[in-house]
Every structure is written in C-alpha cells, then in structure tokens.
Amino acid sequence: MTQQHKMYYKKRGEILVKNLVSRHFEAYYCDTKTEALEKALELIPKGASIGWGGAMSAHQIGLVEALNAGNYHAIDRDKCTTQEEKLQAAKDSMFADVFLTGANALSLDGEMVNIDGTGNRVAAIVYGPKQVLVIAGMNKVVDTLEDAVTRARTVAAPMNQQRFQLPVPCTTTATCADCKSESCICNQILITRHCRPVGRIKFILVGEDLGL
C-alpha cells in the first residue's frame, strides 16, 4: 500500500470515527492489523464468552486465533463437527458477552450496512450479546448510505458467493441478479444508524484492506 493510500485511509478514518461517536457508537482507528489486534484484546474482558459470524476481518487481524488460545470462552463454529452443533453455536452466540462481526459497508457519515443469508449475524448485531465488536477495513467505507447498500449487494455478496459457491446467479456471473433463489444469501439487509444503549456496538477501523 502506498503512503498516499495510507494517508487517505487515515483521514477518512478520523472523519468516520467522529461520525460514529456522534451516533453513540464507540469507535477507534488503527493504522495496522497489529494495532487493531491489540485494541480488540484491550476491549474484550478476560474470561468473556465470545461468538462471531462472518468475521473474516477478525480472522485476518489474528483475533480469532488469539481468542481460541487465550483465557476466553470462544464459541467457534469452525470447530463444530455436525450441522446441529453449528446451529447450536450460532444460537449460543446470541447470548455471548461479546459478538464479533465485520461490516459489508460503512457510510462516511457513520451508518453500517450488513447483508445476511441465514440472519444469525444481523440478529446478534441488533439484539442479544452484551457487546458487539465490529472489525472493518477502510476498503469498506463509501461516501453515502446509498453507496453502502449498493456495495453490500453488488460487491460484498457476489464476492462472498465466490467462497460459498452456492447455486445462485452471482456465483457464476459475479453480478447481483436481485434473485429469489432458495440459496440466496441476500435475505436480510440491516442498516445500523445509531447505538442504543450507548457504546454497546464498538468499531475498530483498520487502515488496511480487510474482508470482502
């Protein structure tokens, strides 16, 4: 990443932090993945129960590995061996002390957009876990809420389908077809514009490209 790219991310990150705080979120900007990992571990109490869903960015900064190795109760669906265990882990995450997630898109004025197939991730963001910790690379930040919804539907979802390879149009075309397929992963679209109670949702913005 060029120095100019880093400066661009940092300046936009500073604006976004202020706008998130004005909406009663907690928000922090970290230049690197290493700094983001340190900040995340600072925010998560020892011994806490922690679940996650679709948290590719948390994996990329090393947070999931650190939680599995540390003094925490990690609810890790990747360690489940049956579908029933995975479903139970998703339900258990709804009652966790901390829920980790990424963001499909963020508007510069502080609104977050997430799109989901099953709904466990967006459900936990809305209600349940005591705290929600969002790890988001600055590549997820766009100018407006309209741009954020567009990014979630036409960039994040088709890119994620390249991982899932489900039988839907965007798996083949990499372009949203606004489909009604049985395997569609765009079933719930959540816009999070304000935090209540104050500080329940915390953001760590990272000055690097993370996630999809």
Written as six digits, the tokens of 199 are 């500080």
Give, for 54, the enclosing helix (H) or strand (E).
none
Query: What tokens were used for 189?
Result: 């679209």
Q: Read off the pLDDT of residues 148-169 as tens digits, 9 standing for 90 and up.
A: 999 999 999 999 999 999 999 9
Q: Omega before 197 cis (within 30°)?
A: yes
Asked, for residue 108, whether it belongs to a domain, the answer is: yes
The span from the CA of 11 to the CA of 172, in Å, is 37
Asked if residue 211 is part of any domain, the answer here is: no
Tell me which amino acid residue 121 is: R
Q: What is the CATH number of the domain that holds 45?
A: 3.40.50.10420
User: Is the CB of residue 105 less than 8 Å from the CB of residue 136?
Assistant: no
How many domains are there within the chain?
1
pLDDT in tens, 157-209: 999 999 999 999 999 999 999 999 999 999 999 999 999 999 999 999 999 99
CA distance 135 to 54: 11
* pLDDT value of position 85: 95
Type of residue at 130: K
